[in-house]
Homo-oligomer: A and B are copies of this chain.
């Protein structure tokens, strides 16, 4: 995983924090597929993701507008993945939707 290339603000971020259940149960393949599908959605800007050895993970996905986020939330394959997420993959998750107002960068080189 690496940095999303984003336009200047304003845009939106969905902060998704989660703890996984034990075992894969098809999670890895579906997660890859959701990243692929999200990138095809209108208004998608990028995604960044990290999960530590303790199983706690954060995915921040970036979108042009609230409308783009709601459309992705209702996308049919994503709805199926959300259902499986609740049934099989996640112990807990927290989602926060926020409007990015400023951004800054640092790079060593």
List residues of A whose CB falls within 8 A of some B CB. 1-4, 6, 9, 12-13, 15, 17, 19, 21, 48-54, 56-58, 60, 66, 86, 90-108
Residues of B within 8 A of A66 (CB): 101
Cα A93 to Cα B2 with chains together (Å): 10
Residues of B within 8 A of A52 (CB): 1, 49-52
Copies of this chain assembled into the complex: 2
Instruction: Report yes or no: A96 in contact with B56, Cβ–Cβ below 8 A.
Output: no
CB A88 to nearest CB in B, in angstroms, measures 10
Instruction: Report yes or no: A98 in contact with B95, Cβ–Cβ below 8 A.
Output: no
Residues of B within 8 A of A3 (CB): 17, 19, 92, 94
Instruction: Report yes or no: A99 in contact with B101, Cβ–Cβ below 8 A.
Output: yes
Cα A11 to Cα B50 with chains together (Å): 23
Instruction: Report yes or no: B2 in contact with A56, Cβ–Cβ below 8 A.
Output: yes
Residues of B within 8 A of A94 (CB): 3-4, 6, 103-106
Q: Quick one: which of B21, B53, B60, B97 contacts A100, CB cutoff 8 A?
A: B97
